[in-house]
Copies of this chain bind each other. A is one copy, B any other.
Amino acid sequence: MGDDPHRPRRTKKEPVSLCLPMGLDEADMQRLDQIIGRRRRIKRDQSLYRMGDRFDMLYAIRLGHFKTYQVNSNGSQQITGFQMAGELLGMDAIGTSRHQCEAVALEDSEVCEIPFSQLEELFQDMPVLLRQFHRIMSKEISREQGVMLTLNSMSAQQKLAAFLVNLSSRYATRGYSASRFQLRMTREEIGNYLGLAVESVSRLLSNLKKNGVIDVSHRDLELLDLPTLRSIALGADPCS
């Protein structure tokens, strides 16, 4: 699969998270930068926060990947999402002041702490920042609705295709290759997230590979035919 496809294409300097400061002028940008707290390194399998932890920080992922999951009353855990560099972590906790899920690093990662109370103070002076923040939260809502809800009524193949397409487009918007990346999570984690058995995930990946839609070897993934993958996600062409 060749050299690392994970180097961003973008060269522009980014003082903070990809999305939050969009549309801010220099002065505002600096004010935002000032409240961005210390960087924190999270080693693989360490948790950034746990369920029930008091909420006072949002986290901008600088480097690496995370998963978030809830633990049901019966003890089983349900992965609620995978987050990548450039995304914001912790918004689910704003409602209750307590974290609703646990965030664990899938690899050695790095985040910036954003004290939420200070962010709220900035909102009072910087409508543009507030608007951008609302935009992000709103997108989070439709992401769940759009991607996740429809999973419910999808076949296993559709689910997996939709998952890959979703990853692809998120990498793309962050300046990485849309067609070539590493899966940072295990097959089991994918299965847990999508509501599939590990074996099904494995079988489906093999099948897509056999049909020339993707190439996959361990965690290395290449989307050979994104249009077809998209159409599979939409329910067409079971691809034999």
Contacts and interface: CB of A to CB of B under 8 A. Distances in A.
A115 interface: no
Chain A, interface residues (CB within 8 Å), range? 35 or more
A221 interface: no
A93 B139 CA distance: 8
A227 interface: no
Contacts of A92: 138, 141-142, 145
A70 B138 contact: no
Contacts of A193: 149
A236 B195 contact: no
A134 B91 CA distance: 9
Interface stretch (A23-31, A41-49, A123-131): A123-131
Interface string A140-158: 1110111011111100000
A95 interface: yes
Interface stretch (A73-81, A173-181, A182-190): A73-81
B91 A138 contact: yes
Contact of A234 (B74, B135, B144, B235): B74
A1 interface: no
Contacts of A148: 144-145, 148-149, 152
Interface of A: 70, 72-74, 76, 78, 80-81, 91-96, 100-101, 120, 123-124, 127, 130-131, 134-142, 144-146, 148-153, 192-195, 234-236
16 contacts: A70-B150, A72-B235, A78-B150, A80-B145, A92-B138, A92-B145, A95-B135, A95-B141, A95-B142, A120-B130, A137-B137, A137-B141, A141-B141, A141-B144, A144-B149, A151-B152
